[in-house]
């Protein structure tokens, strides 16, 4: 193998595949990154067997070939090099990659590319396409509700349903639920209902930050893997097996109070209260007071800690229905308000121990359910 490319392209490519490199793996080749020529491009590939990423960078290929080299060493080396041309040449006999950039030279001992698992990318024929920006928004709005602890593996995933009308993603960690859907311009060839690890989707959002083209989503016919194809990147993830809870049942179908608030103001008040709620289990209290004959409707946001003190904010709100006092986890509220793509949010409540529902005003495609906190004693 003999190939040349620009330092900044190689560095960017390595940072994209880097998160898929196996950590603490028993298979040494998984902590390596595959460097291979592919037509007139350089293909970088990393996988931990759960998640795999391929990334192609522009290069000048003089001689085809492939090798795997330790990902961490290689990445740190490339990041430290000047923004210049890098020439790489593989010594096949010793499986050593020689690298030259300006006046710097290095040789890295590798492992035979034959030992590296193939990170395959599926077939385009079954793909559905979603605008990159829409997909990123969906991921941000839904993955925040996915569980981070592994005690119920299905809850660390995002239920993704591809139907003739569109794609719906849902995640729930046992305390909150996020559901977001989007329409499809072209109906999908095949329907699917799978659980994609939230971590893989967050990785997808990260690596697609600059993507302009629509992203293709392909579910393998065996329902064991999902592929995401970007212009120069493939991401492959194993799917989570199991049954996702029937979330439709959790969504309340009625309300006794609807409170409409400005998202920015509400978020500011929640973040202030969160400072004081930190030591007291994140309890944030909302006191919803509908408009009277003279006074406009208002919401009092407060938090108290016996150690650090207390905080109260008052917000104007449009309130329909009964007054209510309800407590939520301040972090949960801040999470959802931070990803709402609207100027106003509607909070629907029934009782202090029943779930609250947040929806952006003027948007039907996102819904967030939060269980309140129960104040004993």
Q: Is the dihedral of CA 123, 52, 203, 64 positive or negative?
A: negative
- In the complex with other proteins, the residue whose CB is nearer, 291 or 308, is 308
Give me the least distance between CB of 356 and other proteins, in Å please.
Answer: 11
* Least separation in angstroms between CB 196 and other proteins: 20
Considering beta carbons, is residue 188 or 355 the nearer one to other proteins? 355
Q: How far is the CB of 342 from other proteins (least distance, A)?
A: 24
DSSP assignment of 172-195, as one string? E-SSEEEEEEEE-SS--SS-EEEE
3-state secondary structure of 207: helix
- Residue 375 C-beta: closest distance to other proteins, Å: 5
Task: Look at residue 302 and give its three-state secondary structure.
Answer: strand
Question: Residue 95: which of 108, 85, 105, 86 has the closest Cα?
Answer: 108
> Site residues (CB under 8 A) for other proteins?
147-149, 172-177, 245, 250, 278-283, 305-307, 327, 329, 353, 355, 369, 371-377
Smallest distance, other proteins to C-beta of residue 201, A: 19
**Rounded Cα–Cα distance for residues 180 and 351 (Å):** 25
| 51 touches 90 (CB < 8 A) | no
Closest CB to other proteins among residues 172, 337: 172
Q: CA-to-CA distance for 376 and 353, rounded, in angstroms?
A: 11
* Residue 25 Cβ vs other proteins, minimum distance, rounded to whole Å: 19
Judged by beta carbon, residue 224 or residue 281, the one nearer other proteins is 281
Contacts of 338 (CB under 8 A, 6+ apart): 267
Q: Which is nearer to other proteins, 293 or 307 (CB)?
A: 307
Strand partners of residue 167: 162, 182
Q: Output 116 or 328, the one with its CB closest to other proteins.
A: 328
């Amino acid at each position: 193998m003999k190939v040349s490319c620009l330092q900044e392209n190689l560095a960017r490519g390595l940072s994209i595949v880097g998160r898929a490199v196996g950590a603490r793996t028993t298979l040494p080749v998984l902590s390596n990154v595959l460097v291979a020529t592919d037509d007139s491009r350089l293909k970088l590939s990393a996988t931990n067997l759960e998640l795999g990423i391929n990334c192609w960078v522009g290069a000048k290929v003089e001689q085809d070939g492939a090798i795997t080299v330790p990902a961490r060493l290689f990445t740190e080396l490339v990041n430290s090099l000047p923004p210049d041309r890098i020439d790489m040449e593989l010594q096949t006999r010793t499986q050593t990659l020689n690298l030259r950039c300006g006046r710097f030279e290095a040789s890295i001992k590798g492992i035979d590319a034959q030992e590296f698992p193939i990170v395959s990318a599926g077939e385009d024929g079954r793909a559905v396409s979603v605008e990159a920006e829409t997909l990123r928004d969906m991921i941000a709005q839904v993955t925040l509700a996915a569980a981070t602890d592994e005690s119920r593996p299905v809850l660390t995933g995002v239920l993704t349903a591809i139907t003739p009308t569109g794609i719906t993603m849902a995640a729930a960690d046992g305390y909150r639920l996020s559901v977001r859907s989007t329409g499809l311009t072209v109906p999908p060839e095949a329907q699917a209902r799978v659980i994609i690890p939230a971590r893989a989707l967050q990785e997808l959002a990260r690596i697609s930050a600059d993507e302009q083209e629509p992203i293709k989503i392909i579910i393998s016919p065996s329902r064991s893997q999902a592929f995401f194809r970007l212009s120069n990147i493939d991401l492959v993830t194993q799917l989570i097996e199991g049954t996702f809870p029937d979330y439709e049942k959790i969504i309340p179908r009625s309300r006794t109070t609807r409170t409409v608030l400005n998202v920015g103001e509400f978020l500011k008040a929640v973040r202030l209260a969160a400072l004081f709620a930190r030591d007291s289990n994140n309890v944030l209290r909302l006191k919803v007071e509908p408009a009277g004959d003279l006074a406009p409707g208002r919401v009092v946001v407060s938090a108290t800690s016996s150690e650090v003190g207390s905080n109260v904010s008052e917000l104007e709100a449009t309130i329909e229905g009964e007054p209510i006092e309800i407590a939520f986890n301040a972090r949960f509220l801040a999470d959802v308000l931070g990803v709402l793509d609207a100027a106003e949010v509607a909070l629907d409540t029934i009782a202090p121990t029943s779930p609250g529902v947040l929806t952006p005003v003027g948007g039907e495609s996102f819904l967030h359910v939060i269980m309140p906190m129960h104040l004993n004693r």
